[in-house]
Each structure stands twice: as structure tokens, then as C-alpha cells.
């Protein structure tokens, strides 16, 4: 498969530059998060190259689970050109160099303000084409007759639940003919009913996409995230999320490899420990709850698309890329694509009749190709060499070695099990006992703390001058009803204390939020809070007042969730509704959401948030 362990462990942004130099160049926060496509998609059939940037984009923090009814889904109709027959001048026939391959892009209507994103299977004579709007606000779906090129509109300008700008675009896919998946924001759209649903997924580590894959098996809908495999079930008009299996929290999710014989899902994982193989595979049967781990020396290539009947991989050959169609009967069809040593990016596939249709994206456009399989002789898929693998057990010595390394590197004190106090203020903590979760949490904590400048935490201390104490717990609850009922973390600047939930409840954005409370207290002791808040208050709407009560419900007004399609975050003043409690929580939410992933969320483009950021970072540099 060619995975590079270090290149696939979703690296945290170096926040040393952020906190020391202003965290972001506020006027250019868009550019800081953008990954540029480096080359141009061209016609395979004319023997020219296809070159694209294969780097996947990452996403901000995991949103909460929400769904809407058909009445709540916006869909506007507009006129769309629909050619009655193919444009013979632009539909390229197969060439001698690449037989059985046709560029069908000339059949596609020119949708104003929209670009083809992916294709999906409809039936033996039709495929589905999904267009994403260039402003990141909506999508549309057409049905293409593969015999004559006629287009039928399925859905027109469906507004997205989570609109975003073009700097961090949506990545779409089809789970079936009725189900569109926005993998970037983790939202599933059902075309026939007009509903959409945001599954409640556990993602212990931030991944490039909230949903890595969504597919049907035996007429049941499943999705995979970095935290595990889930089934999406429908009861009456409502959808629910049921976890099928978790991945181990200290094994970084890489990709969904394939569905094996229509019954087992294979996932690629990267261990954190250098003593383990670079990649291990996790195989699970979601119907019988069977699973195993194994390693393999074979390199099947990058998986582009999976479903119950087939999967498609891309691998590198001597003269270009190799597109492989792996069928459920154990055979494989191979297509050699000359590409001048550049890698192509297949963004969607559809097996319809005797042809495989696939979309190739790059340079701001996507082209549609048909691979005629009728004259291709399938080959028997070589048996992959697999060796059963047992996850290593974590010893007390492993835990102590990791704890000592953390304490020495960051100047903090790590407390475990019975070493910690069970009660602080009105919060009662349950100590974490599982060795595997303790170790994996310390690994995650190390990666997070390394986002801050060298020596940063050695400058932080309690009011008594003691180093920051970090306690790893399994759960937290309020015993008096004060504060948050069951927080994932809390902090006290006065006592230099940071208590965090571990394992599957470890969330980068939440820990970064709590770390800012420690920073806030440090600024407060230095006399900088009055100066900060006077400027900070001036950036809020004229009619706004903080709730100042954790038991008061606050709305999403003035947040990105209330941003209307077509607006460019002009009315976004807060990163979340929780930040509207008080200025301390608002600043902590600002920092937590900013550090939630490798891509800066789009709503930070708001002029109001940039203005607030300039005050926050300025005061951090000063004090």
C-alpha cells in the first residue's frame, strides 16, 4: 500500500509560531489553511498526463449530531442546459495507447457556478453525477443516460447544512443512488425524502474527514470514521447512529481498504509506537461482531472507492498509474494510465452495466471517463500475504517511561489512578484504570502539547509557583449541579490544574479550550484582563449581552451555524453558542476551535473574529 507512517499520522500544526507570532496572520488565515492543487487534469485518451494533488484536506472539530425533516431542507430550482445527444466533438474515443477508455466530459451540462465532483451508480443504463457549487453552499445531482448522454435533473441546488468556503471544500461521495455523503463535515443527505442527518460519531483523533467512507452492505447503511464503524438506522422519520466497533485509540486511522467478500470491512491503521509495524490492518464483520488484526507485505495501492460488490485501487507502475477494479468474485481488471510520473486523483466511481465510470479531479475541474470492460480479460486476484497480529500489551514500565518523558519535556506533573484527588471544587472524577487507555491518552497529550512553543508549559504555574498538574480520568461529573454536568475536561489556573477525560473522550479542541483558561488566569495575574476585555467587548454586536450562567440556554445567533448561504460570515461574531456564556469561555472557545485540526475553520474569515483574534494574540504576546 506504500503508507509512510510519519506522513500519515495527522500532524498537528506548529502552534509555537502561532502563539509567539500572533497565532495566524489574521488577514491571511484562509491561505494558511489551503492546500494547493499542483497540476492539471488532462485527457487520458489523447495520451496526455493527468496530474493532481493527492493530499487530502483536513477538517475542524467534530460537530454534534443533528437531522432535519424534508420541510427543513432547502432546494431551489434553476434552468440547467441538458444536451439531448453527445457533443461528438468533445467526447474522445479510445486511443491505441489506452484502449477501452472514453472521455465523456463533453456530455456534461455546463452548470453555472458549479463543478462536477463525483459520480455514482444508478442502474445498468444510468449513472449519477454530483455537482458542488463553487461557493461551497449547495450541491446538485443529475442522472446521465450512458447510452445517449441525455441528462435528467434529480435534485437542484440543495443547500448544505454546513456551508463552507472554497478554501476547505466539501468532499462528496455516493453511498447508493439515494444517499449523498459530505465526508468533510460528516453529513448524510437522502435525495428522495429531502432529509439530511449528521451521525453522532466518536473521533478520538482529528482526521482529514469526519466520515472516511459510507457504504451499503446487505441493504444496511454503514459509515466509518477515525473512531470506528457505525450503522445508520432509520426509525419512522428519524435516524439514529449505532456504534458497531471501535478502533483502538492509539492506532491512527489511515483509510478504509476494502470490503472483503461482501462481509468484512478492512481498515488500515498506523501504530504510534516505533516498535510496531508501520501499518496494521483491522478486519471486522459488522453483522457478527467478529474482528481480527493482521499485517501484510503486499501493496494493493490507494483505495479510491469501495462498496459491497467491488472496490477500486490506484497504484504506481513503471510507466504510470494503474487503476485496478477488484470484483467480489475474486477477479481484478487492470487499466494502465500513462501519466508522466504524476499521480492521478480518482474522486468517484460507478460500475454500470459492462463499464466502470470514474471521475478524475484536478486544477479546479473534474472530468468523466468510461472504461469499457466488455473486452477486458479479468485476472484472478493474487492471494494477499496476511499474518495474524496481536496488539502488544502495555506494561507498567511502558506507562512510567511515557509519563517520565512527558514530565521532562513539558515541565508538568502527570497524576494517574490513586495519585490524584477525586474531588476538585464541585467536580467528582473517576480515575482511569485501563493501561491501554492511559498509555494512548499520554501519546495524544504529547502530540497536543507539542503544538505549543518550546518551554511554554514550564512558564505556566499555579498561584503558589507549582508546575501544572495534569490528571487523567475516565469521567467527570458535577456533584452540585453547578458548571457543566459531565465535562470532558476542566482547568483551574489558581491551582495549576488540568483534569482531562482519557481514551475515547480525549478531544483536542476541548483540551485546547481548557489550556486557554490557564493562559487567561496568567494574564489576569499580570493585570492584563481589564485591558483585554475593554477592547474585546467592543467587537460584540450592540445588542449582545453574555449569559453569565451555565444553566441558561443560549442560541446559535451570531455563530457560524446561523450563517445564511450566500453570506461570507458577515454576521459571525462567535465560534460557538457556548462561547456566549462570558468572555473567558468565548476566548477559550476561540482557541479550542482554532486548534481542533490541521485546517483553520472557514468561519475564522469573519472580520469580527479576526478583530477579536488580534486582541487575544496581542495580549498573549504582551503578558
Residue 548 binned pLDDT confidence (cut-offs 50, 70, 90): confident
CA angle 478, 484, 485 (to 5 degrees): 50
Percent of the chain residues topping a pLDDT of 90:
11
Whether residues 124 and 230 fall in one domain: yes
Q: Which of 387, 422, 451 is the last residue of a domain?
A: 387
Q: Which residues of 416-468 form beta strands (DSSP E)?
A: 423-424, 427-431
Residue 14 binned pLDDT confidence (cut-offs 50, 70, 90): very low
Contacts (Cβ under 8 Å, ≥6 apart) of 281: 257, 266, 267, 268, 269, 293, 294, 295, 296, 386
Whether residues 445 and 482 fall in one domain: yes
Whether residues 55 and 191 fall in one domain: yes
Write down the pLDDT at residue 509.
82
Write down the pLDDT at residue 41.
32
How many residues are present in the chain? 623
Whether residues 307 and 206 fall in one domain: yes
Answer with the residue of higher pLDDT: 201 or 409.
Answer: 409
Write down the pLDDT at residue 45.
34
DSSP letter, residue 392: P
Judge whether 38 lies within some domain.
no
Judge whether 28 lies within some domain.
no
Whether residues 319 and 439 fall in one domain: no
Whether residues 426 and 370 fall in one domain: no
Which CATH number do you get for residue 617? 3.40.390
Whether residues 295 and 371 fall in one domain: yes
Residue 209 binned pLDDT confidence (cut-offs 50, 70, 90): low
Judge whether 304 lies within some domain.
yes
Distance CA 522, CA 528 (A): 9
Whether residues 58 and 145 fall in one domain: yes
Write down the pLDDT at residue 76.
39
Answer with the residue of higher pLDDT: 502 or 70.
Answer: 502
- pTM given for the model: 0.68
Model confidence over 66-110: pLDDT tens digits?
444 433 443 333 344 443 444 444 455 555 556 678 888 888 888
Judge whether 368 lies within some domain.
yes
Cα→Cα distances 14→130, 454, 468, 498, 602, Å: 36, 11, 21, 22, 19
Q: Which of 387, 406, 424 is the last residue of a domain?
A: 387
User: Residue 105 is part of which domain span?
Assistant: 44-387
Residue 471's SS3 state is strand
Q: 269-273, long-range: CB within 8 Å, 24+ apart, which pairs?
A: 270/3, 270/5, 270/8, 270/9, 271/5, 272/9, 272/440, 272/443, 273/392
DSSP letter, residue 559: B
Residue 437's SS3 state is helix
Nearest to 367 by CA among 90, 166, 606: 90
Whether residues 402 and 376 fall in one domain: no
Judge whether 477 lies within some domain.
yes
Judge whether 25 lies within some domain.
no
Lowest mean pLDDT among 180-184, 236-240, 318-322, 333-337: 318-322
**Mean pLDDT of all residues in 354-373:** 84
Judge whether 211 lies within some domain.
yes
Contacts (Cβ under 8 Å, ≥6 apart) of 598: 10, 11, 12, 13, 58, 206, 208
Model confidence over 288-306: pLDDT tens digits?
878 899 998 876 678 888 8
Which CATH number do you get for residue 130? 2.120.10
**Average pLDDT of the chain, as a whole number:** 76
Whether residues 206 and 313 fall in one domain: yes
Model confidence over 464-497: pLDDT tens digits?
888 989 988 888 888 777 767 677 787 888 888 8
What's the number of domains the chain is made of? 2
Q: Which residues of 30-83 form beta strands (DSSP E)?
A: 67-68
Distance CA 199, CA 506 (A): 19
Residue 399 binned pLDDT confidence (cut-offs 50, 70, 90): very high
Phi-psi region of 310 (alpha: psi -120 to 50; beta: other; left: phi over 0): beta
Q: Which residues of 36-113 form beta strands (DSSP E)?
A: 67-68, 101-103
Nearest to 237 by CA among 74, 73, 67, 75: 67
Q: Which of 370, 387, 404 is the last residue of a domain?
A: 387
Write down the pLDDT at residue 180.
94
Answer with the residue of higher pLDDT: 201 or 305.
Answer: 305
Judge whether 30 lies within some domain.
no
Whether residues 297 and 417 fall in one domain: no
Whether residues 414 and 368 fall in one domain: no
Amino acid at each position: 500500500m506504500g503508507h509512510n507512517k510519519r506522513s500519515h499520522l495527522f500532524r498537528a500544526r506548529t502552534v509555537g509560531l502561532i502563539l509567539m507570532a500572533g497565532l495566524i496572520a489574521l488577514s491571511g488565515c484562509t491561505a494558511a489553511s489551503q492546500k494547493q492543487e499542483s497540476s492539471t487534469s488532462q485527457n487520458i485518451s489523447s495520451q496526455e498526463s493527468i496530474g493532481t494533488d493527492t493530499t487530502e484536506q483536513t477538517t475542524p472539530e467534530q460537530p454534534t449530531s443533528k437531522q432535519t425533516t424534508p420541510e427543513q431542507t432547502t432546494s431551489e430550482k434553476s434552468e440547467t442546459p441538458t444536451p439531448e445527444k453527445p457533443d461528438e466533438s468533445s467526447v474522445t474515443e479510445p486511443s491505441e495507447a489506452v484502449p477501452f477508455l472514453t472521455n465523456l466530459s463533453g456530455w456534461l451540462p455546463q452548470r453555472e457556478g458549479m463543478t462536477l465532483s463525483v459520480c455514482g451508480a444508478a442502474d445498468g443504463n444510468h449513472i449519477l453525477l454530483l455537482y458542488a457549487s463553487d461557493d461551497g453552499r449547495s450541491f446538485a445531482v443529475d442522472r446521465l443516460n450512458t447510452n445517449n448522454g441525455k441528462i435528467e435533473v434529480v435534485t437542484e441546488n440543495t443547500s448544505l447544512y454546513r456551508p463552507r468556503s472554497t478554501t476547505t471544500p466539501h468532499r462528496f461521495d455516493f453511498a447508493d443512488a439515494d444517499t449523498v455523503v459530505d465526508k468533510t463535515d460528516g453529513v448524510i443527505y437522502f435525495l428522495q425524502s429531502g432529509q439530511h442527518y449528521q451521525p453522532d460519531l466518536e473521533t478520538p483523533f482529528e482526521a482529514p474527514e469526519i466520515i472516511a467512507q459510507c457504504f451499503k452492505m446487505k441493504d444496511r447503511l454503514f459509515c466509518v470514521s477515525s473512531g470506528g464503524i457505525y450503522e445508520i438506522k432509520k426509525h419512522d422519520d428519524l435516524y439514529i447512529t449505532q456504534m458497531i466497533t471501535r478502533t483502538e485509540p492509539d492506532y491512527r486511522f489511515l483509510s478504509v481498504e476494502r470490503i472483503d467478500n461482501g462481509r468484512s470491512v478492512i481498515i488500515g491503521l498506523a501504530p504510534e509506537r516505533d516498535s510496531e509495524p508501520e501499518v496494521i490492518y483491522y478486519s471486522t464483520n459488522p453483522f457478527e461482531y467478529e474482528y481480527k488484526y493482521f499485517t501484510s507485505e503486499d501493496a494493493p495501492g490507494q483505495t479510491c472507492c469501495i462498496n459491497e460488490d467491488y472496490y477500486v485501487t490506484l497504484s504506481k507502475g513503471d510507466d504510470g498509474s494503474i487503476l485496478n477494479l477488484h470484483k467480489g468474485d475474486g477477479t481484478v481488471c487492470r487499466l494502465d494510465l500513462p501519466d508522466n510520473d504524476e499521480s492521478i486523483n480518482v474522486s468517484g466511481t460507478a460500475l454500470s452495466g459492462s463499464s466502470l465510470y470514474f471521475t478524475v479531479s484536478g486544477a479546479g475541474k473534474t472530468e468523466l471517463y468510461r472504461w469499457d470492460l466488455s473486452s477486458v480479460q479479468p485476472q484472478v486476484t493474487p492471494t494477499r500475504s496476511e499474518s495474524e497480529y496481536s496488539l502488544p500489551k502495555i506494561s507498567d514500565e511502558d506507562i512510567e517511561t511515557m509519563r517520565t518523558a512527558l514530565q521532562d519535556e513539558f515541565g508538568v506533573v502527570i497524576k494517574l489512578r490513586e495519585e490524584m484527588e477525586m474531588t476538585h471544587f464541585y467536580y467528582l472524577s473517576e480515575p482511569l484504570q485501563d493501561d491501554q487507555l492511559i498509555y494512548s491518552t499520554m501519546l495524544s497529550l504529547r502530540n497536543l502539547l507539542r503544538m505549543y512553543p518550546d518551554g511554554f508549559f514550564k512558564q505556566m504555574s499555579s498561584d503558589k509557583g507549582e508546575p501544572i498538574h495534569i490528571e487523567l480520568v475516565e469521567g467527570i461529573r458535577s456533584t452540585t449541579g453547578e458548571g457543566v454536568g459531565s465535562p470532558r475536561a476542566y482547568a483551574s489556573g489558581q491551582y495549576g490544574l488540568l483534569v482531562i477525560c482519557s481514551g475515547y473522550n480525549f478531544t483536542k479542541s476541548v483540551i485546547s479550550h481548557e489550556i486557554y483558561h490557564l493562559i487567561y488566569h496568567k494574564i489576569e495575574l499580570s493585570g492584563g484582563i481589564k485591558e483585554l476585555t475593554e477592547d474585546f467587548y467592543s467587537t460584540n454586536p450592540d445588542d449582545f449581552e453574555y449569559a453569565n450562567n451555565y444553566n441558561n440556554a443560549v442560541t446559535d445567533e451570531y455563530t457560524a451555524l446561523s450563517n445564511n448561504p450566500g453570506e461570507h460570515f458577515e454576521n459571525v461574531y462567535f465560534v460557538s453558542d457556548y462561547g456566549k456564556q462570558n468572555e473567558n469561555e468565548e476566548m477559550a472557545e476561540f482557541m479550542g476551535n482554532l486548534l481542533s485540526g490541521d485546517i483553520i475553520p472557514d468561519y475564522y474569515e469573519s472580520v469580527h473574529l479576526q478583530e477579536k483574534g488580534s486582541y487575544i494574540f496581542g495580549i498573549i504576546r504582551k503578558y
